[in-house]
Amino acid sequence: MIGVIANPSERPIVSEFFELFKTPWEFYRSVRHYDVVLCSGDVGFEQQSAKLILLYAGEKLEFDAEEQIEVSSRKSTGMLSYRGAQLPIYGDCITFAETGEEVLVDDEHRPAAMDLKRTRNSVVKRIGYGLFSEIATLLTVGQPVAYARIPTLDLHIALLREMILASGITLAEVPPIPHGYEFIACLTHDVDHPSISVHKWDHTMFGFLYRAICGSLGKLIRGRIQAKDLLTNWLAACKLPLVYMGFANDFWHGFEERYLELEAGLASTFFVIPFKNYAGKDKHGLAPRKRASRYQARDVAGAVRRIMAAGCEVGLHGIDAWLDSSRARDEIQEIRNLTRSSKIGVRMHWLYYGKQSPLALEQAGAAYDSTVGYRETVGYRAGTTQAYKPLEAKRLLELPMHVMDTALFYPDYLGLSPDEAAKLLGEMAGHTAQLGGCFTINWHDRSLAPERLWYAPYRDLVRDLKSRSPWFSTVGQAAAWFQKRRSVVFEVDSLKPGGVYARVGADGGNDLPGLRLRIHRPHEAGRTSVYSSEDYVDMLFDENLDVQVPCGVAG
């Protein structure tokens, strides 16, 4: 059991952190003996109260002076190295002149960011940054593009886990990995342009012609596409007048059939726009006119029926739902009317999102949100592969988006070739398999058709994911599974000192994969990699099971 000492203002952050690192913990009580005491800042603790004491702070403390710990440097931000992996620090960070371990060091000059002190009854590890202030930054502000590829929050969890196990303490955890699978994969599709025939003399039509004719030629010259792709796009551009006159098929129409065939029975989620010809609002006032859609949800009712008949999900691609709970209710209700489903999740059009968004969506009855991500790159904006509850919300979960096709291929963004994209996507899928959690991909409705022709990269991505044994779920199913994991509670057995029971809440979903209860055995210090395998035992853990968790110091 971990006892946590933190400032009152940090309590919501502490609670959310331990939903992501699902292990037995509670706020510190002086009458209780703990295996581990985790302290945030210069708040009082007794060194005799635990085998291991972890003291996090990014400034010099009274404890440092008392124990003669010499601070060698202080930065307002910094980059640390945790066993070779970069760990960005977004708040104050200090390093120390001496250390007993080389686990955590400054990435630039290599001074240690962790100091080790031993007393007669305890080991004290002094870590040179504020853990919960870092978690708050990640879950509210998010990471800059420069550090997008680093799963920073998950690395904070990995470091904490390692420090506990390396101190000879057994650790129980419910990892973010469904029983029977390696991780979760969510295939999603933003439906922005289901038909080109409704786009006449507008920016979408002219953009299509430019990219199909000139852009394709440039890509061929740079080796980004093959000659057959150039011919396909030129032919589509030539046929466009015939599409408008009704003499040729609309090559953007039927997006759902292409995806359902390509995904071959895998669950996926399609986000559709509720109302047409309305651009909505941005943080400055009216949004740009080109944000307005030329279709509305009712126009794709047939596609929606086919999507749902295939076992897939339809959610809201919101316009003003991010900003206004009243508008959010109207937009969600429009999708409810179309789908006859009570639980509607959200991803905002153009990824509009603000501090008020979680509360607005929650008040409107959204089942989840999946907006947080990057337009211009791919990666972990919140620093994690897990669904989390934004600090402003009471129940709404955010399932972050990690990859968007336009970010991969558009020249103004990453501008990758298909081979370069496949390599990057493979690395990200591998990270998710190592960390657990969910890999969320967004491939737009028209991305399989001219002029994008991103069919082959998506086909290869799906094949690669299948080979890694994930649970392919809708976003709604993934959010429900994370809610099930969050329902797990650890209770102290008053009749057995040191005994802890783990139970799944009564609302655990019977139709979802089970949970794993993972018992980590202590290991010796000296791991060489963040992702190295650990000695643990997994067992199926579900709603009908009470499990006594072995805990404490290994004998």
Query: Higher-confidence residue: 543 or 360?
Result: 360
d(CA 367, CA 396): 7
Tens digit of each residue's pLDDT (9 = 90 or more) over 202-220: 999 999 999 999 999 999 9
Fold of 2-173: Rossmann fold (3.40.50)
The structure tokens listed for 279 are 């651009």
State the residue for tokens 């809708």.
474
Residue pair 191/273 in contact (Cβ under 8 Å)? The answer is yes
Strands 50-56 and 34-40: parallel
Which DSSP category does 91 fall into? S
The per-residue b/e assignment along 421-441, b for 16 or more CB within 10 angstroms, e otherwise, is: bbebbeebbebbbbbbbbbbb
**Whether the Cβ atoms of residue 176 and residue 121 lie closer than 8 Å to each other:** no
Give the 3-state DSSP-derived string for 204-268, with helices as H, strands as E and coil as C.
HHHHHHHHHHHHHHHHHHCCCCCHHHHHHHHHHHHHHHHHHHCCCCCCCCCHHHHHHHHHCCCCE
CB 217 within 8 A of CB 226: no
CA distances for 387 relative to 19, 176, 251, 373, angstroms? 10, 9, 36, 12
pLDDT greater at residue 107 or residue 512: 512
Residues 167, 171, 177, CA angle at the centre, nearest 5°?
A: 130
**For residue 73, what pLDDT is reported?**
83
Handedness of CA 349, 351, 354, 358 (dihedral sign): positive
Q: Alpha-carbon distance 268 to 474, whole Å?
A: 5
Q: What number of residues does the chain have?
A: 555
The single residue listed with the structure tokens 């336009």 is 406
Q: What is the pLDDT of residues 447-475, one digit of tens each?
A: 999 999 999 999 999 999 999 999 999 99
pLDDT recorded at residue 30: 84
Nearest to 166 by CA among 409, 521, 473: 521
User: Average pLDDT of the chain?
Assistant: 91
The reported pLDDT for the residue numbered 555 is: 40
In a 3-state reduction of DSSP, which class is residue 87? strand
Give residue-wise pLDDT tens across range 248-296.
999 999 999 999 999 999 999 999 999 999 999 998 999 999 999 999 9
Q: Are 80 and 106 in contact (CB under 8 A)?
A: yes
Distance CA 353, CA 336 (A): 22
Say if CB 315 and CB 476 are below 8 A apart.
yes
Tell the CATH superfamily of the 184-195+252-480 domain: Glycoside hydrolase/deacetylase (3.20.20.370)
Residue with tokens 């086919």: 306
Q: Is the pLDDT of residue 528 over 60?
A: no
Query: 3-class DSSP state for residue 426?
Result: helix
The model's pLDDT over 42-56, given as tens digits with 9 standing for 90+, comes to 766 666 678 899 999
Section 96-106 average pLDDT:
78
The model's pLDDT over 404-429, given as tens digits with 9 standing for 90+, comes to 999 999 999 999 999 999 999 999 99
Token digits of residue 80: 């640390």
DSSP secondary-structure letter at 59? Answer: S
pTM beyond 0.75:
yes
In this prediction, residue 545 carries a pLDDT of 57
**Confidence at residue 551, expressed as pLDDT on a 0 to 100 scale:** 58
Tokens of 412: 């103004």
Q: Per-residue pLDDT averaged across 18-29, rounded?
A: 95
pLDDT of 532 reads: 61
Does 26 have pLDDT greater than 80? yes
pLDDT at 33 over 60: yes
Where does the pLDDT of residue 101 fall: very low under 50, low under 70, confident under 90, or very high at 90 and above? low
Residue 508 reports pLDDT greater than 60: no
Query: How far apart, in whole angstroms, are the C-alpha atoms of residue 190 and residue 168?
Result: 48
Q: Which of 119-128, 196-205, 447-456 has the least mean pLDDT?
A: 119-128
